[in-house]
Amino acid sequence: MADLNELLNKAKEVTKSAANTAKSVASDLYAQGKEKVNEAALKARLKDAYRDLGEIAYDQAKGVEVDGERKNAAIAEIDKILADLANIAD
């Protein structure tokens, strides 16, 4: 009977350890997935910000007066997104 209890206790310990390992792996995979989604969203925002800045540059090239605040805001947005992307890479 003692052998059976020892065997059951050992099985319980192994099962608990396996569950903890699975939980840890799932948590790590979730974090990695979340980071990839965040990175993709930042890259999409960066593409939009570059497009906006391109429109401003085109307007300037065509002689259209461009609001300096708008231009500076576009540049600041690009800088912020690039910094956020660099932080993800680290």
With a threshold of 0.85, does the pTM exceed it? no
For the chain, the average pLDDT equals 90
Answer whether 74's CB lies under 8 Å from 49's CB: yes
Q: How would residue 41 be classed by pLDDT, with cut points 50, 70 and 90?
A: very high
pLDDT value, residue 65: 94
pLDDT value, residue 11: 82
Token output for 43 = 């890259």
Calculate what percentage of the chain has a pLDDT beyond 90: 58
Distance CA 17, CA 26 (A): 14
Integer angstrom CA distances of residue 75 from 35, 45, 46, 58: 25, 13, 11, 15
Q: How would residue 8 be classed by pLDDT, with cut points 50, 70 and 90?
A: confident
Helices within the chain (DSSP H only): 2-61, 68-89
Residue tagged 């792996």 (tokens): 25
